[in-house]
């Protein structure tokens, strides 16, 4: 396929590379220069504007937040109304996804939402998970693209914003694990239990999921720098989760607790830390 890719930071680099490896033609765009060297070396073409990356069959976007995602669609030389189907992989708000859905429909442009789960190493390895939503025909068209970047695609339904809601809820669930582990580890540690032995017990038994191993390990070591996923991004995702919940009128007290944790972290010197640093707040509040 003749593809475009917009947004070449950590995650995007790996995803775009896997599209090239799968044999697709790729035109790439990044707002700030110097991010596309490796991809050009692999055979990609450089686009001067977002619109130039959207002249083919489909264009994948992978951006940091709502503002960046809005800019490449609605901004000058944006992709709105271009021939390419828009495959949006960014973690954006449900509300923006609804606006994109409406705008693309009005412009006669196909649009699916396909946010991804996984960290940069999974992106590089083509081992992401994709939560996809959109019209069946569009999902079929996008299938070779999504398969090239992931180990599995989960199709949710025909309403693109549904995939964004699922992605946000997933980050809420991860943050919940961090908070729960933070409280439990603060408790047992103050009670004299070795945290490493404790974490081994947990992750060898009922809590064998990768998320417990990864974040439990970070809390255990108190190693929150450099950030793999920075606190402000975590805070943003909880904010977007709560915004979606408010629009749907779903009270989420645990998400509210996480919101306050992130604000506390960021107000007390944790701006530059990994989001798992909220898992250290229970220990701090208990005087450890």
Q: Segment 181-200, which members bind a second copy (CB under 8 A)? A: 181, 183-184, 186-188, 190-194, 197-198, 200
Q: CB nearer to a second copy: give 73 or 168.
A: 168
d(CA 133, CA 117): 14
d(CA 229, CA 260): 18
What part of residues 227-246 is at the interface with a second copy (CB under 8 A)? 239, 241, 244-246
Q: CB nearer to a second copy: give 108 or 191.
A: 191
Q: Which of 35, 167, 195, 236 is catalytic?
A: 167
What part of residues 9-28 is at the interface with a second copy (CB under 8 A)? none
Interface residue with a second copy, options 94, 96, 139, 230 (CB under 8 A): 94
167: annotated active-site residue: yes
What part of residues 133-162 is at the interface with a second copy (CB under 8 A)? 152, 154-157, 159, 161-162
Interface residue with a second copy, options 11, 266, 277, 278 (CB under 8 A): 266
Minimum Å distance from CB 257 to a second copy?
6
Told to check if 125 binds a second copy by CB under 8 A, we report no
Minimum Å distance from CB 170 to a second copy?
7
Minimum Å distance from CB 161 to a second copy?
8
Minimum Å distance from CB 83 to a second copy?
29
Q: CB nearer to a second copy: give 22 or 252.
A: 252
Could you tell me the two tokens for 186? Answer: 């603060």
Question: Please, what is the angle between helix 94-106 and helix 231-248, to 10°?
Answer: 70
Q: CB nearer to a second copy: give 2 or 207.
A: 207
* Neighbouring residues of 37: CB distance < 8 A, sequence distance ≥ 6: none
> Which helix (H) or strand (E) element contains residue 28?
strand 25-29
Q: How far is CA 282 from the centre of its chain?
A: 26
Burial 141-158 (b: 16+ CB within 10 A, else e): bbebbbebbbeebebbee
**Count of CB atoms situated within 10 Å of the CB of 33:** 8
d(CA 64, CA 51): 19
Contact between residue 230 and residue 209 where contact means Cβ atoms under 8 Å apart? no
Residues annotated catalytic, as ranges = 167
């Amino acid at each position: 396929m003749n593809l475009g890719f917009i947004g070449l930071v950590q995650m995007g680099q790996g995803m775009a590379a896997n599209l090239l490896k799968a044999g697709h033609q790729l035109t790439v765009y990044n707002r700030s220069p110097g991010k596309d060297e490796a991809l050009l070396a692999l055979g990609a073409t450089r686009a001067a504007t977002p619109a130039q990356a959207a002249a083919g069959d489909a264009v994948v976007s992978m951006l940091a937040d709502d503002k960046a995602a809005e800019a490449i669609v609605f901004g000058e030389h944006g992709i709105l109304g271009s021939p390419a189907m828009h495959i949006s992989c960014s973690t954006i708000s449900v509300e923006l996804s609804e606006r994109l859905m409406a705008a693309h429909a009005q412009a006669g442009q196909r649009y699916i939402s396909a946010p991804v789960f996984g960290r940069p190493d999974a992106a590089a390895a083509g081992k992401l998970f994709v939560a996809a939503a959109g019209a069946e025909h569009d999902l079929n068209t996008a299938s070779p693209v999504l398969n090239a970047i992931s180990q599995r695609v989960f199709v949710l339904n025909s309403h693109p914003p549904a995939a964004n809601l699922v992605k946000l809820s997933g980050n809420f669930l991860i943050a919940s694990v961090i908070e729960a582990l933070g409280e439990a580890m603060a408790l047992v540690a103050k009670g004299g239990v070795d945290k490493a032995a404790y974490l081994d017990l947990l992750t060898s038994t009922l809590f064998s999921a990768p998320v417990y191993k990864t974040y439990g390990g970070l809390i255990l070591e108190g190693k929150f720098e450099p950030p793999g996923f920075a606190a402000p991004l975590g805070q943003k995702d909880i904010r977007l989760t709560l915004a979606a919940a408010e629009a749907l009128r779903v009270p989420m007290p645990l998400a509210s607790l996480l919101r306050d944790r992130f604000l506390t972290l960021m107000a007390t010197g944790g701006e530059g830390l990994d989001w798992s640093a909220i898992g250290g707040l229970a220990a701090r509040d208990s005087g450890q």
